[in-house]
Structure 1
Amino acid sequence: MSGHVSGFAGRSGRLAKAARNTLADIGPLRDNPDYRRVWAGQSVSAVGQQMTAVAVSVQVYDLTKSSFATGLVGLFSLGPLIAFGLYGGAVADRVDRRKLGLIGSAGLAAVSAVLAVQALLGLGAVALLYAAVAVQSGFFALSSPARSSMIPRLVPRQQLPAANALNTISMNLGMTVGPMLGGILIGAYGVRSAYLVDTVAFSATLYAMWRLPAMRPLGEAGRRASVLDGLRFLREQPNLRTSFLADLAAMIFGLPRALFPAIAVGFYGGGPGTVGLLVAAPAVGALAGALFSGWIGRVHRHGAAVLAAVCAWGLSIAAFGLVRELWLGLALLAAAGCADTVSMIFRNTMMQVAAPDEMRGRLQGIFIVVVAGGPRLGDFESGTVAALTTPAVSVITGGLACVAAVLLLAARRPAFLRYDARHPTP
């Protein structure tokens, strides 16, 4: 009998160990109360912000009955995101990052409150919605570099990959849960309900920021921190620069989201519901990749991992252009999203570890611009190629071009393949 018991205990122990090695490492949440509060606050706020994004689009379309007017919402958010992303990074390297994060979160909460009030009053002013979206984007871009550059001060270096995986889970939970909850609430109680929930949700982030200690940048940057200094630093640091270029290659050549409506009809004979599935599939894959990221902390060759992940993204997208079964297409898009998560975790960790503290804010600001601008360039690239050829050709060649760009980066920068997180060099 004791033999059976010990055998069962042994199998249970092996299963528990396998689970720890496979599932996301929650060590940063368990060991660091400040990080735990920040993560929880950002997770709640991310859901609320995605609810607001859905509500704004619904409200603009209801008021105008115009897809063009609804599309302008993205344009009004892009400009402030780029301008204030760069500026916010420089500010984050000059001032107390806790205060900047607190101001940004308070500003975002105030904008959500304004949106709730205009919906409750039934103002129906599209210009007000555009202005609110622009201000909201500005506050987000101003404070996001500060929040991101706090992470290396909240968790030890060896936990940074796990912390970045948890941040990815938080972001993708917001992108998947937020729109679904927003749609349910809007359908039942109108857009005002989504705005009100978002306003209340910011209390979690405000509380987390309030509890943090002061976080002035280390080093000698002080008043001399500028956007141009950040750009010069990035130009002079080949490993960090290569990580940015790899991400751009993935977004410009391998992101066919602008073709999803045409693909839904041409590939699968579907409609808007199919488009929604295509849009959601990469986010579902990204969430799965972050949930099963326990192995990431044991990988030290971060440069090689980034290039391998971006290659996997490109190959998955190219294969997506070849298939005509919806379930297989969704699986390939999910695989691409999973690869993107792996790349993002390693790229963020490289930026946080290899860059000095006084430069982290500006690099995070540049990162925001890349993340905001890259997909827009990708929309232009894929749409142009599709117009000259076909959507299928655009998707396939885009994925292969992404792989070719990564191989070129590997050939031109072999030191990036040898980058070791135990001995980080920017």
Structure 2
Amino acid sequence: MTTGSGRRPRSRLLPDTAPWRSSRDFRLVWTSGAVTMLGSVFTLTAIPLQIADATGSPLAVGAVGAVELVPTVLLGLYGGVLADRADRRTVVLATEVALAALSVLLLLNAVRGGPALWPLYAAAGCAAALQGLQQPSLEAMVPRLVPHDQLVAAGALLSLRWSVVGLAAPAAAGVVIATAGVGTAYLIDLATFLVSIALLTRIRPVRPAREARSPLPGDLAEGARYVARRPDLVGTYLVDLAATAFALPTALFPFLADELDARWALGLLYSASAAGTLVAAATSGWTGRVHRHGRLVLLSGALVGTATAAAALTSGIWAVLLCLALAGAAHWVGDAFRTAIWNRSIPDELRGRAAGLELLVGSAGPALGDLRAGGLAARYGIRAALRTGGLACLATSGVLAAALPALWRYDDRTDPQVAAVRAARRTDGPAEGPPTGAAA
């Protein structure tokens, strides 16, 4: 049986691969990112393990997050300006080379007789700084590599890549480290960086849309003013912040596993959200037929909060895992449509700075969430911390829907910002491709 559009109903749920087929450069970026992410998981697993072995202190391991947060935030803001001033391909390539050099240093430290502790913290901080510089350029490249009407599908494919790697790579890293040691993990990371660099060199230059006309502080201020003038954009940042600060309870998982008498399921608690995002990304074909993106952002935030609160009210481990997977799937939906709003409606000359602000929110939210969850759990208990976080996320989505009607009404078929960006792409960018789906 086929639908009126000629596509089988099942195929309409599968991810839209039009960006992959239409853009060679997008295929290279997608593959490069998948390879890099795979190797990075090995290093992100090895560094805390080395610190734990050397110190035996949970506080020493937790300090890695503090070391990473500040450079990510500071360099992310500068990276956003750099993405709008420099060739984005060059920025991504240069930072990838520097990250490969860090892998060499970590490898040398691992194979020496007694690995030193300070290089692990230094490498974590430097890697966070480099990723803060790289991420805005990497995100701002995508709207220049695929036709404007394929940006929703491109975001879904990028998210699918993250979901697959995020689910499979930690288990592989654990096996490799347990059997071959941390040195092998760093060697694998270095090899993936070399492959990624080779792929990135084949991408065409992605030069800035305009020459820099003001000093650095002026560029930062211009980007912030642009976002502040658009309540729909402000709303996307706030929904994301609420979801990560209130309903991302990873800090509670070890204690939740003990409370459920299911210590064996700790790994499943950590991977449940990734499993949900993988299912959502693998059935993302419907996203190209939705146009009220702001509404989906708000509804997904409400569902994340509801699922997290439901996890606090259940007593069985499998029910908790199901709720966490549902929250992960809902978070993916919100991320997909947030990215669609950003990519389709923000002018190219401001896209890097907007990505820098995204990175700031994305880094602050989980850090604040761990602090909130840990403090409430210590005072009121694990279930109370989980329940209040979910309800706060749900309430925030409702308040934002009422306070920011521009986000609720956002429709990419009629939004003037989308029309302006589409017109600019037709004039300056690559040729437009056919629409990815029928109107919804």
**1:40, 1:204 within 8 Å by CA — same for their partners in 2?**
no
Q: TM-score, normalised by structure 2?
A: 0.90
Q: Mind listing any 5+ residue stretches in structure 2 that lack a counterpart?
A: 418-440
Give the equivalent residue in structure 2 for 1:21. Answer: 12
**For the residues of structure 2 that align with 1:183 and 1:14, how far apart are their CA atoms?**
46
**Partner of residue 420 from structure 1, selected from 411, 422, 428:** 411
1:76 CA displacement: 1.3
Aligned amino acid, residue 238 of structure 1? P
**1:98, 1:213 within 8 Å by CA — same for their partners in 2?**
yes
Give the equivalent residue in structure 1 for 2:274. Answer: 283
1:152 CA displacement: 0.4
Whether 1:325 aligns to 2:330 is no
1:47 CA displacement: 0.8
1:330 CA displacement: 0.4
1:293 CA displacement: 0.5
1:90–1:123: structure 2 CA closer, same or farther, 3 Å change rule? farther
Which deviates more, 249-258 or 381-390? 381-390
Give the equivalent residue in structure 1 for 2:194. Answer: 203
Percent pairwise identity: 38
Whether 1:294 aligns to 2:285 is yes
Whether 1:250 aligns to 2:243 is yes
Residue 201 of structure 2 aligns to a residue whose secondary structure is: helix
Aligned amino acid, residue 108 of structure 1? L
**Partner of residue 76 from structure 2, selected from 82, 85, 93:** 85
**Partner of residue 261 from structure 2, selected from 269, 279, 294:** 269
Give the equivalent residue in structure 1 for 2:139. Answer: 148
Deviations 1:20-75 (A, max 9, x none): 21111111112211100110110011011011100111111122222221112222
Matches within 5 A, 1:374-393: 374-393=365-384
**1:251, 1:378 within 8 Å by CA — same for their partners in 2?**
yes
Deviations 1:149-175 (A, max 9, x none): 000000111111111111111222232
**Partner of residue 344 from structure 1, selected from 332, 335, 340:** 335
Give the equivalent residue in structure 2 for 1:4. Answer: none
**For the residues of structure 1 that align with 2:403 and 2:5, how far apart are their CA atoms?**
43
**2:262, 2:317 within 8 Å by CA — same for their partners in 1?**
no
Aligned amino acid, residue 414 of structure 2? H
Give the equivalent residue in structure 2 for 1:217. Answer: 208
Matches within 5 A, 1:33-112: 33-112=24-103
Give the equivalent residue in structure 2 for 1:5. Answer: none
Whether 1:307 aligns to 2:298 is yes
1:193–1:392: structure 2 CA closer, same or farther, 3 Å change rule? same
Which deviates more, 198-207 or 139-148? 198-207
Aligned amino acid, residue 314 of structure 1? G
1:263–1:78: structure 2 CA closer, same or farther, 3 Å change rule? same
1:222–1:292: structure 2 CA closer, same or farther, 3 Å change rule? farther
Give the equivalent residue in structure 2 for 1:120. Answer: 111
Aligned amino acid, residue 249 of structure 1? A
**1:221, 1:358 within 8 Å by CA — same for their partners in 2?**
no
Give the equivalent residue in structure 1 for 2:428. Answer: none
**For the residues of structure 2 that align with 1:127 and 1:425, how far apart are their CA atoms?**
52
1:231 CA displacement: 1.7
Q: TM-score, normalised by structure 1?
A: 0.93
**For the residues of structure 1 that align with 2:41 and 2:151, how far apart are their CA atoms?**
26
1:408 CA displacement: 0.8
Give the equivalent residue in structure 1 for 2:357. Answer: 366
1:421 CA displacement: 1.4
**2:28, 2:203 within 8 Å by CA — same for their partners in 1?**
no
**2:18, 2:153 within 8 Å by CA — same for their partners in 1?**
yes
**2:85, 2:210 within 8 Å by CA — same for their partners in 1?**
no
**For the residues of structure 1 that align with 2:249 and 2:8, how far apart are their CA atoms?**
39
**2:2, 2:9 within 8 Å by CA — same for their partners in 1?**
no
1:12 CA displacement: 12
Give the equivalent residue in structure 1 for 2:422. Answer: none
Aligned amino acid, residue 298 of structure 2? L
Deviations 1:89-120 (A, max 9, x none): 11111111111011111111111121112212
**For the residues of structure 2 that align with 1:104 and 1:260, how far apart are their CA atoms?**
34
**For the residues of structure 1 that align with 2:142 and 2:258, how far apart are their CA atoms?**
43
Deviations 1:302-322 (A, max 9, x none): 000101111111110010000
**Partner of residue 129 from structure 1, selected from 109, 120, 123:** 120
Aligned amino acid, residue 231 of structure 1? A
Aligned amino acid, residue 324 of structure 1? S
Give the equivalent residue in structure 2 for 1:239. Answer: 232
1:184–1:357: structure 2 CA closer, same or farther, 3 Å change rule? same
Give the equivalent residue in structure 2 for 1:7. Answer: none
1:246–1:13: structure 2 CA closer, same or farther, 3 Å change rule? closer
Q: Mind listing any 5+ residue stretches in structure 1 that lack a counterpart?
A: 1-9
Aligned amino acid, residue 388 of structure 1? R
1:401 CA displacement: 1.4
Aligned amino acid, residue 44 of structure 2? A
Which deviates more, 146-155 or 245-254? 245-254
Which deviates more, 380-389 or 296-305? 380-389
1:251–1:11: structure 2 CA closer, same or farther, 3 Å change rule? closer
Give the equivalent residue in structure 1 for 2:348. Answer: 357
